[in-house]
């Protein structure tokens, strides 16, 4: 099960983001002030971001952070699953699958994207089962905070 984040979830969100950024699922950690800035933006507006808290039997067990853009190429809204984390004891219970099915069912989304580290074979298998395909190109980025 999953639900939209609320203002009461601040500490839970900050804890889960910190855990996520210290796993093998990411290339490198980000400054902790970025976590708070993201939470503040989530509370200010849902124009760019949306966040869901995963729960298993009423117990918080993870989160998913989404960003939205409009894609001319896709012909509509493109949603990127920026971060997805589920606590180890709650993995394999279908929570991520249920979440992806929900996203795929939304009529206003033309494209779903997700990033995954090349060596994260378990996640790649899950994403491929859910219908994701590898993009035939690389992405490049400039992060101002890393300069």
Task: Quote the pLDDT of residue 147.
Answer: 65
Residue 4: strand pairing partners: 52
Q: Residue 45: its pLDDT value, please?
A: 96
Quote the pLDDT of residue 67. Answer: 97
In eight-state DSSP terms, residue 140 is -
* Per-residue pLDDT, 139: 84
Q: What are phi and psi of 142, to 5 degrees?
A: -125, 115
Q: Which two tokens stand for residue 10?
A: 């601040």
- What the chain holds in terms of domains, given with CATH numbers, is 2-146 (3.40.630.30)
Structure tokens at 52: 């869901």
Q: Is-above-0.75 flag for pTM?
A: yes
Render each residue's pLDDT in the chain as its tens digit; 147 residues: 999 999 999 999 999 999 999 988 888 778 999 999 999 999 999 999 999 999 999 999 999 999 999 999 999 999 999 999 999 999 999 999 999 999 999 999 999 999 888 888 888 998 999 999 998 888 888 888 766
Which CA distances in Å does 13 have to 25, 42, 65, 86, 116?
17, 11, 10, 12, 21
């Amino acid at each position: 099960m999953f639900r939209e984040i609320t203002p009461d979830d601040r500490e839970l969100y900050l804890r889960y983001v910190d855990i996520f950024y210290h796993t093998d699922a990411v290339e490198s950690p980000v400054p902790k002030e970025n976590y708070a800035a993201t939470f503040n933006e989530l509370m200010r507006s849902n124009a760019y971001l949306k966040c869901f808290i995963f729960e298993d039997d009423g117990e918080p067990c993870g989160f998913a952070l989404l960003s939205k853009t409009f894609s001319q190429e896709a012909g509509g809204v493109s949603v990127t699953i920026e971060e997805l984390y589920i606590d180890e004891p709650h993995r394999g219970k279908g929570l991520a699958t249920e979440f992806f099915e929900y996203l795929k069912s939304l009529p206003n989304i033309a494209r779903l994207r997700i990033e995954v580290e090349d060596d994260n074979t378990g996640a790649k298998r899950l994403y491929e089962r859910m219908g994701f395909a590898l993009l035939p190109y690389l992405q490049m980025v400039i992060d101002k905070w890393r300069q």
